[in-house]
């Protein structure tokens, strides 16, 4: 599943020029891919994972949040399934004016009088995190996932509706039945009928795909909402 923040929308947010510079300095990503396997390392795993890859994942997600000692490492850091490059972008986009000034102050303090010294992407990312924490980014992520779900439901109704259609469908292949299958999906959706219907392989595959996208969006939304609540309770 892919989640992204519309690039064109950045120009409409406050202090867009300064934030664009910070995004470039952090090498932040405006979009991310969220494979289903990431959920195994979150708060609501689909299956138990006790192998070495779990430890490696946790290690890769750990960052030095105590750069200036102003914030404590979040309790949820090892359960955060969203890529930090994407969260870095969301932190920057959601940043308030006072937080933006604080980032500038932290980076000036780091660089000091060294004119040739430029902060690294990791240092800029750490300064942004210490200035604004995670709550703004996680709230923006929750909003993006909500909008993604609403868009899918507006175009093809709910995940539960897809379940009903798949239960009542008969997948039929063959040229002799193709014409009968052409309008079967639209007819079933329009009438709300529950009797079995004929469907081509392509129609069936399309329905399974969109159902899977809604399921992933719902599961990642649950992870994001839980992390947001923890972030707010911890002052992050």
Give, in order, the Cα–Cα distances in Å from 95 to each of 176, 188, 208, 228, 231: 60, 47, 38, 16, 15
What average pLDDT does the segment 33-57 reach? Answer: 76
Distance, in Å, from the CA atom of 89 to the CA atom of 128, rounded to the nearest integer, reads 10
Task: State residue 59's pLDDT score.
Answer: 41
What average pLDDT does the segment 148-162 reach? Answer: 82
Distance, in Å, from the CA atom of 134 to the CA atom of 148, rounded to the nearest integer, reads 21
What average pLDDT does the segment 73-100 reach? Answer: 94
Assess contact for 66 and 130: CB atoms under 8 A.
no
Count Cβ neighbours within 10 Å for each residue of 185-215 and write b for 16 or more, e otherwise. beebeeeeeeeebbbbeebbeebeebbebbe
What average pLDDT does the segment 70-75 reach? Answer: 82
What average pLDDT does the segment 90-109 reach? Answer: 93
What average pLDDT does the segment 156-160 reach? Answer: 75
More confidently predicted of 20 and 58 = 20
pLDDT band (50, 70, 90) for residue 138: very high
What average pLDDT does the segment 44-62 reach? Answer: 57
pLDDT band (50, 70, 90) for residue 137: very high
Distance, in Å, from the CA atom of 5 to the CA atom of 164, rounded to the nearest integer, reads 32
Task: State residue 160's pLDDT score.
Answer: 73
pLDDT band (50, 70, 90) for residue 73: confident
Q: What is the pTM of this model?
A: 0.80
């Amino acid at each position: 599943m892919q989640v992204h923040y519309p690039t064109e929308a950045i120009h409409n947010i406050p202090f867009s020029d300064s934030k664009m510079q910070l995004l470039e300095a952090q090498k932040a990503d405006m979009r991310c891919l969220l494979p289903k396997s990431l959920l195994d390392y979150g708060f609501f795993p689909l299956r138990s994972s006790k192998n070495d890859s779990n430890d490696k994942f946790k290690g890769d997600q750990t960052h030095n949040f105590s750069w200036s000692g102003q914030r404590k490492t979040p309790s949820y850091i090892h359960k955060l399934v969203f890529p930090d490059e994407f969260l870095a972008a969301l932190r920057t986009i959601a940043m308030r004016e006072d937080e933006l000034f604080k980032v500038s102050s932290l980076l000036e303090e780091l660089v000091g009088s060294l004119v040739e010294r430029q902060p690294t992407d990791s240092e800029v990312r750490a300064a942004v995190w210490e200035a604004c924490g995670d709550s703004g980014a996680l709230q923006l992520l929750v909003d993006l996932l909500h909008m993604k779900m609403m868009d899918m439901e507006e175009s093809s109704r709910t995940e539960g509706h897809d379940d009903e259609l798949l239960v009542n469908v008969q997948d039929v292949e063959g040229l002799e039945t193709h014409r009968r299958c052409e309008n079967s999906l639209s007819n079933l959706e329009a009438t709300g009928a529950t009797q079995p219907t004929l469907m081509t392989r392509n129609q069936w595959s399309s329905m399974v795909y969109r159902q899977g996208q809604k399921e992933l969006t719902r599961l990642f939304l649950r992870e994001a909402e839980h992390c947001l609540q923890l972030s707010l309770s911890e002052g992050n």
